[in-house]
Structure 1
Amino acid sequence: MIVLKGSVPIAFGGNEQPAAYDELVSIGGLNPDMNKKLSAGIASILKNKLSVPKSRFFLFSILIAWINF
């Protein structure tokens, strides 16, 4: 699932130039190598589609353990 919210004020690095904050929540499959690949892919999309430089986005990722859902 992807949720994209536009027109939300965000200050990043002390100014309000185009920026993004991403949260990635997973119940499996995240590891340092996958995080790098996902970060690079998201950075590319943000740059090409929304003109957000890779230096102006933050990716928060978390792996949630689940038992007997």
Structure 2
Amino acid sequence: MVVLPQYVMVVLKGSVPMAFGGTQEPAAYGELVSIGGLNLDVNKKLSAAIASILESKLSVPKSRFYLKFYDSKVHE
């Protein structure tokens, strides 16, 4: 999978009250939308990379985030 930076958009909202697993410890929720290219293997790799960033940069443990994947079909 090739990721073209000119087509990547990231929106972060900090300080949003969030309960995850019954606690309010640091947590994250994300939605990843792609026009084609997502599958189980790609999703696993993306999840691992995002988990690493969340943990190292935002102190969100790998067990306290949820990603929702959307694969939009290409319409020609």
Please list every run of at least 4 consecutive aligned residues from structure 1 whose deviation after the TM superposition is greater than 4 angstroms.
none
AA of the residue aligned to 2:17:
P
Instruction: Quote the offset at 1:34 in angstroms.
Output: 0.4
Q: Which runs of 5+ in 2 are unaligned?
A: 1-8
Say what the alpha-carbon RMSD is for the aligned residues.
Answer: 0.7
AA of the residue aligned to 1:44:
S
1:1-69 equivalences in 2 (<5 Å): 1-68=9-76
TM-score, normalising length: structure 1: 0.95
Percentage of pairs with the same residue: 69
Count of aligned residue pairs for this structure pair: 68
Q: Which runs of 5+ in 1 are unaligned?
A: none
TM-score, normalising length: structure 2: 0.86
